[in-house]
A and B are shown apart, each in its own frame.
Chain A
């Protein structure tokens, strides 16, 4: 569980002709074990926001603080492409990101591999796994550090619909079981509605346009009427905000 505070966040890349404004004056507070989705058109700065939150990038101006009861919060990250070390086995990939390697930590890693149904693949190299399996290893890796906050950048967008659906279900179970703050970037409004308590809408140019609460009971079935209505409402908001046109 973590507390995230973003104040007047600005981010630019490059100078002169190459200058790109990725985020403009973002203010945001997220607290507790919520599942927050970020949606918006391509290039609107979603990945950039996650990279700043996880300290891969530094902001041009503004402040970001992520704490857990006053301490710096421990992050986990699931990338769009799995980003596994191809030269290390699945288990070693998990151990690579641990603070220290003890028997207890090994057992913990094994537990999370089991959770994504890859308990028997610990000795394989990533190259020997399918894309969906690799993505699951990425998810297990992020959970295995038992982070306070979890960043996920379109983790299912490369996968086929069936695999993505089962992974969404697994993710939901893991979130329920571990009580984490999850920041989840996606293109897919249906996915956002299905998984999250809260949906942040970004527009081109990196402007935070809207902040939508989704108060429906879990688990949510995408074919459920209520879920479908909620999805339709979010899409309608997109049109109101003129996101579709741009």
Chain B
């Protein structure tokens, strides 16, 4: 009743109150977040040289400096090139194999045939594959590639399998009813439906691929991030070692959060629309 006499003032003040509340929450969240960063980085920096010797635990500032040096020396780019190449070849192969197995697993017979293969791939530790292939192939590229394929193909095949199984039959039938040809149906119905499943497979497969690649490089390689990590740990150069770990971590974060995310936003915008309505 009061609001009716002077609705504008009432409204704006209320809106302000709400906005203030929201802003306050955001500010608080960022405050605590930054405090978290200050705390952890501070403990690290303080601990270096005080709790542990600086040779054992170099602080963040030291790491950033080393990072700059390694980058400037060109070593960083070289190692990343080697590792990325292995991942690309290995995971590309793994994707094709996984796609193939996922597709033929629509047949129950093949599904049963590959069931244990999938299970083993999902559960066996990557370390074992890395060691076995290192013994067999030495530092040839076949080692990392086989290891990547064995540890990741199942993530692709499982997702493809699920995607095909849940194909929207009603939409395909609709396409048939409107006389859409096979190519059109595949392009506009089957592929858009499968894409998110493939994407999930790639995302999870990838997050494993890069870890396992570095692991194989530790045992059998003359180039790459894993190799650099091994060298610096053998030479007891903690600053370099931690820098490599950090670089490797940032690289993975970049791929997962920036590249894959951008891809997802670009191609799966329609799904957000679905979720919103």
- Distance (Å) between the CB of A156 and the closest chain B CB? 32
* Nearest A residue (CB) for B14: A16
For residue A18, CB closer than 8 A to chain B, the reply is yes
- Distance (Å) between the CB of B168 and the closest chain A CB? 31
For residue A69, CB closer than 8 A to chain B, the reply is no
Chain A residues lying within 8 Å of B18, measured Cβ to Cβ, are 15-19
For residue B34, CB closer than 8 A to chain A, the reply is no
* Nearest A residue (CB) for B22: A16
Q: Cα distance A16–B10 when bound, in Å?
A: 10
* Nearest B residue (CB) for A14: B18
B interface footprint on A196-240 (CB within 8 Å = 1, 0 otherwise): 000000000000000000000000000000000000000000000
- Distance (Å) between the CB of B106 and the closest chain A CB? 34
Q: Cα distance A19–B19 when bound, in Å?
A: 13
Q: Cα distance A15–B13 when bound, in Å?
A: 11
The interface size of chain B toward A, counting residues with CB under 8 Å, comes to: 7
For residue B17, CB closer than 8 A to chain A, the reply is yes
- Distance (Å) between the CB of A90 and the closest chain B CB? 38
For residue B15, CB closer than 8 A to chain A, the reply is yes
B6-64 with Cβ < 8 A to chain A: 14-19, 21
- Kindly state the interface size class of chain A when it binds its partner: under 10
Chain A residues lying within 8 Å of B15, measured Cβ to Cβ, are 16-17
Chain B residues lying within 8 Å of A18, measured Cβ to Cβ, are 18
Chain B residues lying within 8 Å of A19, measured Cβ to Cβ, are 14, 18
- Distance (Å) between the CB of A18 and the closest chain B CB? 7
Q: Cα distance A15–B18 when bound, in Å?
A: 6
Chain B residues lying within 8 Å of A17, measured Cβ to Cβ, are 14-15, 18
Q: Cα distance A15–B15 when bound, in Å?
A: 8
Q: Cα distance A16–B17 when bound, in Å?
A: 6
Q: Cα distance A19–B18 when bound, in Å?
A: 9
Q: Cα distance A18–B19 when bound, in Å?
A: 11
- Distance (Å) between the CB of A21 and the closest chain B CB? 11
* Nearest B residue (CB) for A24: B1
Q: Cα distance A18–B15 when bound, in Å?
A: 9
- Distance (Å) between the CB of B22 and the closest chain A CB? 9
Q: Cα distance A125–B72 when bound, in Å?
A: 67
Q: Cα distance A18–B18 when bound, in Å?
A: 8
Q: Cα distance A18–B21 when bound, in Å?
A: 12
* Nearest B residue (CB) for A17: B18
- Distance (Å) between the CB of B173 and the closest chain A CB? 34
A1-45 with Cβ < 8 A to chain B: 15-19
Q: Cα distance A18–B22 when bound, in Å?
A: 12
Q: Cα distance A104–B211 when bound, in Å?
A: 63
Of A15, A16, A17, chain B has the most CB atoms within 10 Å of the CB of: A16
- Distance (Å) between the CB of B250 and the closest chain A CB? 39
Chain B residues lying within 8 Å of A16, measured Cβ to Cβ, are 14-19, 21
- Distance (Å) between the CB of A8 and the closest chain B CB? 14
Q: Cα distance A15–B16 when bound, in Å?
A: 10
- Distance (Å) between the CB of A210 and the closest chain B CB? 21
- Distance (Å) between the CB of B169 and the closest chain A CB? 31
Q: Cα distance A75–B255 when bound, in Å?
A: 58
* Nearest B residue (CB) for A19: B14
Q: Cα distance A19–B11 when bound, in Å?
A: 11
B213-254 with Cβ < 8 A to chain A: none
Q: Cα distance A17–B16 when bound, in Å?
A: 10
- Distance (Å) between the CB of A16 and the closest chain B CB? 2
Ranked 3 nearest A-B pairs via Cβ: A16-B18, A16-B14, A15-B18
A residues at B contact (CB < 8 Å): 15-19
- Between-chain CB contacts (< 8 Å), 16 pairs: A15-B14, A15-B17, A15-B18, A15-B21, A16-B14, A16-B15, A16-B16, A16-B17, A16-B18, A16-B19, A16-B21, A17-B15, A17-B18, A18-B18, A19-B14, A19-B18
* Supplied contacts A17-B14, A18-B18, A19-B18, 14 more A-B pairs, CB within 8 Å: A15-B14, A15-B17, A15-B18, A15-B21, A16-B14, A16-B15, A16-B16, A16-B17, A16-B18, A16-B19, A16-B21, A17-B15, A17-B18, A19-B14
B residues at A contact (CB < 8 Å): 14-19, 21
